[in-house]
Amino acid sequence: MLEHSVSYQEPGLSADGMSATYTPTIKELPESLRPRERLEYAGAHSLSTAELLAIILRTGNPGENVIRMAERLLIDFHGLPGLSQASFEELSTAHGLGPAKITQIKAALELGRRLLLTSPQERMQIRSPADVANVLMLEMGLLEREQLRTVLLDTKNRVQRIVTVYSGSLNTAVIRIGEVFQEAIRANSAAVIVVHNHPSGDPTPSPEDVRVTQKIVQAGELLNVDVLDHLVIGRNRYVSMKERGLGFG
């Protein structure tokens, strides 16, 4: 159970003979446990993800306060990445989510995405493979199909954009290497980091992964775009092919 979820067991039986569990509304909680009040006196950084989402949702459902509702959504959709990827129609199947709440969620997540793309001084700087893995592993580790993405970087290794290049089985027969660099050239990127996932959960690079990497590195040399690394993402694990010397001369 996530932080600050509160329920009280009332004495007595419900209509079906089971013990009744009462979940207090937000107004019934002490002020020290109410998300909006906590944000005001303690700062946004002190709130859990569920509490921040609860502020966006504003209200819960009968018998389910808004913090409980936020926790349920984060579990059902596998965290913020899942909420971000879910379509309007998929979100509408969740209990208690109507058009207003869905648009609030989508708008808040889009603001967060745009913040990452603001002035260069605010952009994340990549210093190690772990920096890239920390950004993408939670989301990509749960994908059911392989995806290849490129992290576009400026001359100071600050993130410009993250682009999904391809979805499907990764092999040299279907990957068009030029597509890997298409957005990098448009953005005048100095370097790229290639990332793809293994839906099996095992990030061990395959021989085909090595062949694809070799072709990408060679193309980057011709296009004057440095290929800094190729990460393979698994379930809570990743492999840096550059660190292992796979596909990099």
Which range is most confident: 91-95, 117-121, 177-181? 91-95
Mean pLDDT of the chain: 83
Domain annotation covers residue 239: yes
The whole-number pLDDT of residue 5 equals 39
Instruction: Give the domain-ending residue among 116, 148, 170.
Output: 116
Based on the domain organization, do 136 and 182 belong to the same domain?
yes
Among the listed residues 121, 123, 144, 124, the one whose alpha carbon sits nearest the alpha carbon of residue 134: 124
Based on the domain organization, do 157 and 220 belong to the same domain?
yes
Based on the domain organization, do 129 and 236 belong to the same domain?
yes
pLDDT category, 184, cuts 50, 70, 90? very high
Tokens of 22: 């009462």
pLDDT in tens, 54-74: 999 989 888 888 888 999 999
The whole-number pLDDT of residue 228 equals 97
Q: What is the mean pLDDT of residues 210-238?
A: 94
Domain annotation covers residue 230: yes
Instruction: Give the domain-ending residue among 116, 150, 175.
Output: 116
Domain annotation covers residue 62: yes
Based on the domain organization, do 54 and 78 belong to the same domain?
yes
Kindly report the CATH number assigned to the domain that includes residue 60.
1.10.150
Instruction: Give the domain-ending residue among 116, 133, 150.
Output: 116
Number of domains in the chain: 2
Based on the domain organization, do 15 and 98 belong to the same domain?
yes
Based on the domain organization, do 52 and 160 belong to the same domain?
no
pLDDT in tens, 124-141: 889 999 999 988 887 888
Bin 17: left if φ > 0, else alpha if -120 < ψ < 50, else beta: left
8 A C-beta contact, residue 83 and residue 77? yes
Kindly report the CATH number assigned to the domain that includes residue 145.
3.40.140.10
Using the predicted structure, report yes or no on whether residue 6 has a pLDDT greater than 50: no
Percent of the chain whose predicted confidence (pLDDT) is above 90: 47
HEC per residue, the chain: CCCCCCCEEEEEECCCCCEEEECCCHHHCCHHHCHHHHHHHHCHHHCCHHHHHHHHHCCCECCECHHHHHHHHHHHCCHHHHHHHCCHHHHHCCCCCCHHHHHHHHHHHHHHHHHHCCCHHHCCECCCHHHHHHHHHHHHCCCCCCEEEEEEECCCCEEEEEEEEEECCCCCCCCCHHHHHHHHHHCCCCEEEEEEECCCCCCCCCHHHHHHHHHHHHHHHHHCCEEEEEEEECCCCEEEHHHHCCCCC
Q: What is the mean pLDDT of residues 214-240?
A: 95
Domain annotation covers residue 3: no
Using the predicted structure, report yes or no on whether residue 102 has a pLDDT greater than 80: yes
Domain that holds residue 65: 8-116
8 A C-beta contact, residue 4 and residue 39? no
Based on the domain organization, do 71 and 129 belong to the same domain?
no
pLDDT in tens, 7-45: 333 333 333 333 345 566 776 666 667 888 888 877 887
The whole-number pLDDT of residue 152 equals 95
Domain annotation covers residue 232: yes
Q: What is the mean pLDDT of residues 200-205?
A: 94
Using the predicted structure, report yes or no on whether residue 170 has a pLDDT greater than 70: no
Domain annotation covers residue 134: yes
8 A C-beta contact, residue 73 and residue 94? yes
Based on the domain organization, do 201 and 226 belong to the same domain?
yes
For residues 39 and 46, give the distance between their C-alpha atoms in angstroms, rounded to a whole number. 7
